[in-house]
Amino acid sequence: MANTSYLEAGHRALREEMQRDERVWALGEDLGRGGVFGQYRGLQDTFGDERIVDTPISEACIMGAAVGAAMTDTRPVVEMRFSDFALCAVDELVNQAAKARFMFGGQMRVPLVVREPIGIWRSSAAQHSQSLEAWYAHIPGLVVVAPSTPADNLGLLKSAIRCDDPVVYMEHKNLWGFEGEVPEDEHLVPLGKAEIARAGRDVTLVTWSAMRHASLETAEELAARGIEVEVIDLRTLWPWDRDTVLASVERTGRLLVAQEAVSVAGFGAEIAATVAETLHDRLEAPVRRLGAPRIPVAYAPPLEDRVRVSKDEIVEAVVGMTRTSPSRVPAGQ
């Protein structure tokens, strides 16, 4: 194992896949200069400007070229800089890439990866701070991935590049410098498989992306109060790991979903509805969701902080859920 940053893990994943398969290439704005966050630094020197391709400032052009190239037996990695900017290319992704396999009766596949950095990044304001994963999870034909750790950013990006379907790959901007242990050998993380990041008996907390880390910190604080929270990191939002989530909620009897994205129509609602429909007779407390209010993210840091899901909110929700069943309330609560 080696200690590696989230950014460097993604850089390594792309480099190794380009070395392994000559059909893998990347395109986007300023990739030759390393990309907006430095995640492509040095790759053009290694692989040349025909495999690390600088493009015009036109997201629709970038995505359209990648979709066509994917249909002709290459595996493009598309850099959109910010998920907000990718909305300029949503037609090419949603109406073309996502539907091609179905419309051509399985004869056409579109194996491309669209990297769309998400999340609140200090004072980036309303047009650079959105988490739009639920939009893409809604679209048949798209795979949606949201890695939270360096090891997962390595293993999931490699799996995404090898996938034969279009993958929307959503790295969190606030995690680029986050460090963690990463295997030095070949490392793949299967798409559609969640991770139980922390075992617990009292409440199941399902989350993804940067909210994993706040959730784990909160779970440790709650453990000191005698409340054991099981934290599940989905890692892949579509397909999502229903079996792991349902098995956990069957054990705990309670579900809390925490997301950074706007709560209204967020992906957390899909998880909550599935659990409520499937385990309605096994729940010991109503299903709860935490997410951002339905407002744009402000530039001013104090207003930006009001949008974030805080550890205090998670604590309040968990404690409230455990109090609904006196038989399970830990001693002293």
Active site residues: 128
Helix, coil or strand: residue 13: helix
d(CA 69, CA 234): 30
Whole-number Cα distances in Å, 179 to 152, 236, 268:
12, 20, 27
The residue behind tokens 């994943």 is: 13
The residue behind tokens 């959105």 is: 130
* CB count in 10 Å sphere of residue 309: 21
Cβ atoms 256, 322 nearer than 8 A: no
Helix, coil or strand: residue 197: strand
Whole-number Cα distances in Å, 275 to 252, 267, 283, 286, 298:
12, 13, 9, 10, 33
Q: Is 8 left (phi over 0), alpha (psi -120 to 50) or beta?
A: alpha
Look at strands 75-79 and 236-238 and give their pairing: unpaired
